[in-house]
Copies of this chain bind each other. A is one copy, B any other.
Amino acid sequence: MTPTELDEKLLSDVRNALEHEDSTRVNELLDEYEPADVAEMLSELDLDEQAEMLDDLPAEDAADVMEFLDRDEKVELAASLPLKLLAEVLDEMEPDEAADILLDLDKKQAVLALERMHPDLAELVRPLLVHDDDTAGGRMTSRFPVLRDWMTASQAIAYLRSLRPTSEDHYYLYVINRGRHLIGVVSLRDLIIALPRDTIGSLMDPDVIRVTTGTDQETCAQLISKYGLLALPVVDSDNHLVGVITHDDLVSIIEEEATKDLYGLANLSPDSDLGVFSPFKMMIQKRLPWLVINLFTAFLASSVVSAFEGTIAKVAALAAFQSIVAGMGGNAGTQTLTIIVRGLALGEMEFRDVWQVLLREFGLGVVHGLVTGLIVAGIAWLWKGIPILGLITGIAIVGNLVMAGLAGTLVPVMLKRLKLDPALASAVITTTVTDCCGFLFFLGLATLFLPYLQ
């Protein structure tokens, strides 16, 4: 059973029930599906059908389903809901989810919705609104169970039983002292196998890996992956426990960080909200500026070629080979760049490793340059019947592949050192280097050996 197979029939049944305003039937139909599947189906409906359907569901279910929508869809739908329904649904959401939606809504609507929410729940959401989206503070939830070190295991279990079930399960339970400082962690498993009278203080692990509200989500992703964590506690500057990043957010953080690297390297704004179905206007905003930047760097490379117009006018065949030299450099540079950027993102590479990596990439540039340079030289010679053309193409490729290795390593490392996103601008810069060097090496050599080329 894959959700895609189900879609069509369910969709038409639900549409039918919505048309007949048969909310019992809507509930019946959706009852047996996972919220994630209902969300997938919901996104196929029109906006007014979506609003109607959410209205038909119990607010709790509506909140569950909405949490699984894509960010754009979520906000578009929230914006179209009547204020009363919106507040009801937000009340049922995890505070971090509710905060994300409120932050994306038009300010006036957000303020009104927050006013309509249950005061206790609005109180949980409000502090989350001040943090940057991609920091630990922006990803944490403010509703989570806490234990005290003086509790016994059976008291802790009784406390967990007394909690209203939420859509997020907490498998790590954090322990705080009277001052709400984070002092330990107990896993649900520790708790279950403990003796009833064991105290939390004796069960807990006092070495808790923690982040502060301002910690970048990339660092969070590295910690999660390195230590195999299921949740990450967030403290303020005084070590007060203020939030928890739960496992479903951990997965999306890891996916988002990967998407951002991918986008940055492809000359796209590294915004993980950008997807196949993003609004047309957003697509242009996130793509066109990078095309324009590339355009200007392309002119830079083109001015190098232009400087050698005299040579090209004499041997027009050079125009056919210049792109090969520049292109090979671009490809090799992208390879190096991608490996370095991923290594930096996953925390495999540190600044101190740069000399070692640079030396390796230099060596790789030489090896790759010699192999591809020889092939090109051979083909150029055979094709155009000018041996010296083969020679200079080959030499230019070796030189350019070495430059590609060096630029592909140094550019992202330096951007990282400057606290900039290494994925962001390094592709443009590296390609500019390989384009300019490629043209310069090749056309420069050609000018030098011009008498032998004609």
Residues of A within 8 A of B (CB): 4, 32, 34, 36, 68, 70, 157, 160-161, 165, 169-171, 187-189, 191-193, 207, 209, 224-228, 230, 247-248, 250-252, 254-255, 258-259, 261-263, 265-268, 274-277, 280, 283-284, 287-288, 290-292, 294-295, 298-299, 301-303, 305-306, 309-310, 312-313, 316-324, 326-328, 331-332, 334-335, 337-340, 342-343, 346, 348-350, 353, 357, 360, 363-364, 367-368, 371-372, 375-376, 379, 435, 439
Contacts and interface: CB of A to CB of B under 8 A. Distances in A.
Contacts of A255: 225, 254, 258, 346
Contacts of A277: 343, 348-349, 353
Nearest to A70: B348
B192 A160 contact: yes
B309 A360 contact: no
**What number of copies of this chain does the assembly contain?**
2
Nearest to A409: B276
A170 to B, nearest CB: 8
B259 A230 contact: no
Nearest to A346: B255
Contacts of A209: 34
Contact of A372 (B32, B258, B295): B295
Given A188-B189, A298-B327, A349-B276, A226 B36 contact: yes
Given A188-B192, A189-B171, A280-B363, A247 B262 contact: no
Contacts of A376: 295
A372 B187 CA distance: 56
Contacts of A263: 338-339, 342
Contacts of A328: 291, 294-295, 298
A165 B189 CA distance: 10
A350 B5 CA distance: 12
A363 to B, nearest CB: 7
A225 B342 CA distance: 21
Contacts of A334: 266-267
In the A-B complex, the 9 residue pairs with the smallest Cβ-Cβ separation, listed nearest first, are: A258-B258, A276-B343, A266-B338, A228-B248, A313-B316, A319-B319, A309-B316, A305-B320, A306-B320
A188 B288 CA distance: 49
Nearest to A361: B283
Given A34-B207, A160-B193, A291-B328, 11 more contacts: A70-B348, A160-B189, A225-B255, A267-B331, A275-B346, A280-B360, A283-B364, A287-B335, A287-B364, A291-B331, A295-B376
A357 B276 contact: yes
30 contacts: A32-B207, A169-B171, A188-B188, A254-B254, A255-B258, A259-B342, A261-B262, A262-B338, A266-B338, A268-B338, A274-B339, A275-B343, A275-B346, A280-B360, A287-B364, A287-B368, A288-B367, A288-B368, A291-B328, A291-B331, A291-B368, A295-B328, A299-B379, A301-B327, A302-B323, A309-B316, A310-B316, A312-B319, A319-B322, A327-B435
A312 B323 contact: no
Given A309-B317, A320-B302, A275 B228 contact: no
Contact of A323 (B160, B261, B322, B340): B322
A350 B3 CA distance: 12
Contacts of A248: 228
A323 B324 CA distance: 11
Nearest to A268: B335
A337 to B, nearest CB: 7
A4 to B, nearest CB: 7
